[in-house]
Amino acid sequence: MPTRVFPPMPEIGRPETYYAKMVHRADKAGDTFAHEAYKVGQYVTLAMAPNLTWEQKLRYLTHALKRHCQPPPFPDDEVWMFYRQLAELVRQHAGQEALRLASTEDDNYAARLQMGQTRDKIMEDAELFFGRLVPFEYNPEWFNEEDYRQLKMIRDQWI
């Protein structure tokens, strides 16, 4: 049985043309693992664009998880681990981005409180913001457990 070579986890933050070129090379070589890795890199990079809303970012992140981080049926341990690492890369970046957004909003709420705005008004705004960012009842597939726990702690200060 030939030894498989898995590509390294993709670098995040490269231009989209880089990922397109690398996916094309992987396809030409018949390297499914590299194809999936570069697609994950592409979608995570797209999701990190600062001008996108959380909902837009989440579309890219969930697409990467559902389409490019799923092993084929009946994978061996190495293949399963490779796809698990890809999914963890997506979750790591999703959590970092959500924590960045939540921290910025937390600072904003604290400043508003110091300026004399009522806690009730801030709570209303926080319910809307965190309602979109952090589901109340469960940890969604796009967050790892630690990031979800931290997001809930930030949320619970205001709601």
Instruction: With respect to residue 2, please indicate whether it lies within any of the assigned structural domains.
Output: no
Q: Which domain holds residue 66?
A: 16-158
Q: What is the pLDDT of residue 137?
A: 82
pLDDT tens track of the chain, all 159 residues? 456 789 999 999 999 999 999 999 999 999 999 999 999 999 999 999 999 999 999 999 999 999 999 999 999 999 999 999 999 999 999 999 999 999 999 999 999 999 999 999 999 999 999 999 998 788 999 999 999 999 999 999 999
Instruction: With respect to residue 145, please indicate whether it lies within any of the assigned structural domains.
Output: yes
Instruction: With respect to residue 152, please indicate whether it lies within any of the assigned structural domains.
Output: yes
Q: What is the pLDDT of residue 1?
A: 47
Q: What is the pLDDT of residue 23?
A: 98
Paired tokens of 30: 């018949």
Give this prediction's pTM.
0.92
Q: How many domains does the chain have?
A: 1
Tens-digit pLDDT profile for residues 110-145: 999 999 999 999 999 999 999 999 987 889 999 999
Instruction: With respect to residue 79, please indicate whether it lies within any of the assigned structural domains.
Output: yes
Instruction: With respect to residue 37, please indicate whether it lies within any of the assigned structural domains.
Output: yes
Whole-angstrom CA distances from 135 to 83, 130, 152 are 25, 8, 9
Residue 14 burial (CB count, 10 A): 15
Q: What is the pLDDT of residue 3?
A: 64
Instruction: With respect to residue 80, please indicate whether it lies within any of the assigned structural domains.
Output: yes
Instruction: With respect to residue 100, please indicate whether it lies within any of the assigned structural domains.
Output: yes
Instruction: With respect to residue 9, please indicate whether it lies within any of the assigned structural domains.
Output: no
Residue 116 burial (CB count, 10 A): 6
What b-and-e string marks burial along 84-115, b requiring 16 or more CB atoms within 10 Å of the CB?
A: eebbebbbbbbbebbbebbeebbeebeeeeee
